[in-house]
Amino acid sequence: MCTTRVMAAAALAAAALLTTAGPAAADSPSPSPSVSGSSSAPTQAGTSFRTAAVLQQDQPGTADASTGDYLYWVFPADAGQTPTVRATVTLPEAATRHGAATWQVDVYDGLRRRQACTHGSQTRTAAADAASVELKCTLRPVRAWSEPWANDPLPGSYYVRLTVTGLPDEDLGLPVHAEAEATAADAGGAHAVDGTLAAPLVPGTATAATAAAPSDDGWSSGWWTDRWLWTVGGGVLASLAAIGGYALTRGTGRRPVRA
CA of residue 150 relative to chain centroid, distance: 18
Nearest to 154 by CA among 141, 172, 142, 164: 142
What pLDDT was estimated at residue 222?
46
Model pTM score? 0.67
Q: Please indicate, yes or no, whether residues 161 and 239 belong to a single structural domain of this protein.
A: no
Asked if residue 143 and residue 66 are part of one domain, the reply reads: yes
Q: Do 104 and 204 fall within a single domain?
A: yes
* HSE value, Cβ hemisphere, 13 Å, CA-based, for 55: 33
CATH number of the domain residue 60 falls in: 2.60.120.380
- What is the reported pLDDT for 244? 73
What pLDDT is recorded for position 217? 40
Q: Based on the domain organization, do 156 and 216 belong to the same domain? A: yes
Region of residue 112 (phi > 0: left; psi between -120 and 50: alpha; otherwise: beta): left
Task: Indicate the number of domains in the chain.
Answer: 2
Is 109 inside any structural domain? yes
pLDDT by residue, tens only, the chain of 259 residues: 445 554 555 555 555 544 444 433 333 333 333 344 446 889 999 999 999 999 999 999 999 999 999 999 999 999 999 999 999 999 999 999 999 999 999 999 999 999 999 999 999 999 999 999 999 999 999 998 888 788 899 999 999 999 999 999 999 999 999 999 999 998 766 556 666 777 788 875 333 333 344 434 444 444 444 554 555 666 777 777 777 777 777 665 555 556 5
Q: Is residue 159 part of a domain?
A: yes
Kindly state whether residue 256 falls inside one of the protein's structural domains. no
Within this chain, do residues 123 and 215 fall inside the same structural domain, yes or no? yes
d(C-alpha 130, C-alpha 92), whole Å: 9
- Pair (47, 13) in one structural domain: no
Look up the domain containing 101 and give its range: 33-222
Both 18 and 83 in one domain: the answer is no
How many Å apart are CA 182 and CA 136, to the nearest integer? 10
62 and 129 part of one domain? yes
Strand partners, 136: 86
If asked whether residues 23 and 55 sit together in one domain, one would say no
